[in-house]
A = this chain, B = another copy of it.
Amino acid sequence: MDARKGFHYALEELQQSILKMGVLVEEAIYHAVKSLANQDLKIAEHVIQNDRQINERMIEIESLCLKLLALQQPMASDLRVIGTAMKIVTDLERIGDHAVDIAKTTRRLQGEALVKPLVDTPKMAGMIKEMLHEALNSYVKRDVQLALSLAEKDDQVDALYKQIFNELQELMERDSSNVKQAILLLMVCQNLERIGDHATNIGEWVIYMVSGDRTDLNI
């Protein structure tokens, strides 16, 4: 196998590693919100423990990227592919941290009954999980249109976030005994909203990788 073929094989491997990390992160979001909605401390601990794995993946992928850059002297377009990989894993790792924050909220509630059943929060979580999935799809397919479509999805997430925010605010204003828990639930939604931003970031990186242009999808 010549050096060029070896390099492209390595890029393929890099992509696979990112996708595997993406799956771990998607699962973390899903389980974190499930732990909260079902008040399941066991699942929450699982998410918190598993974050180490996500961090390790990031370190591995970053090391691989640096090695590829240093050894291969890649051309401009390959340079962007590797630079993009390094940025995407940073976003994925931060998403993992947000999932941990959500799981820690489950831990802080310690099985306390929820002031209201969680309906919109899991809905919001479903939306951002889909966004992340599409962001990773746009990466694999190098699909700029799909990446661009994340901006609209993010607006929908932001609208739902505002709605939940207002509801929780009302809940606090109506009955002061709701304050403590409502603050925690508010922060959960803020974590979800941030995850949406990171998914949008990934879309921006895909556009950069394909076209070389830096776009702001989050305005």
Contacts of A173 in B (CB 8 A): 176-177, 179-180
- For chain A, the bracket of interface size reads 20 to 34
Q: A144 an interface residue at 8 Å Cβ cutoff?
A: no
Chain B residues near A69: list those with CB within 8 A.
Answer: 66, 69-70
Nearest CB in chain B: distance from A56 CB, A: 9
CB distance from A2 to the nearest CB of B (A): 18
A166-191 interface code vs B (CB 8 A; 1 in, 0 out): 00010011101101100100110010
Task: State the oligomeric state as a number of copies.
Answer: 2
The SS class assigned to the A binding surface is helix
- A70 touches which of B79, B87, B174, B183 (Cβ 8 Å): B79
A174 to B177, CA, bound (A): 10
Cβ distance A4 to chain B, nearest Cβ, rounded Å? 15
- Closest B residue to A80 by CB, please name it: B66
Q: Is A214 an interface residue (CB 8 A)?
A: yes
A29 proximal to B (CB < 8 A): no
Cα–Cα distance between A177 and B172 once the two chains are bound (Å): 10
B residues in contact with A176, CB < 8 Å: 172-174, 176
**Chain B residues, CB < 8 A from A87:** 90
- Inside 8 A of A169's CB, which chain B residues have their CB? 179-180, 183
A126 at the interface (CB under 8 A from B): no
Residues 51-110 (chain A) with a chain B CB within 8 angstroms: 59, 62, 66-67, 69-71, 73-74, 79-80, 82-83, 86-87, 90
CA distance A36 to B74 in the complex (A): 47
Chain B's closest residue to A67 (CB) is B79
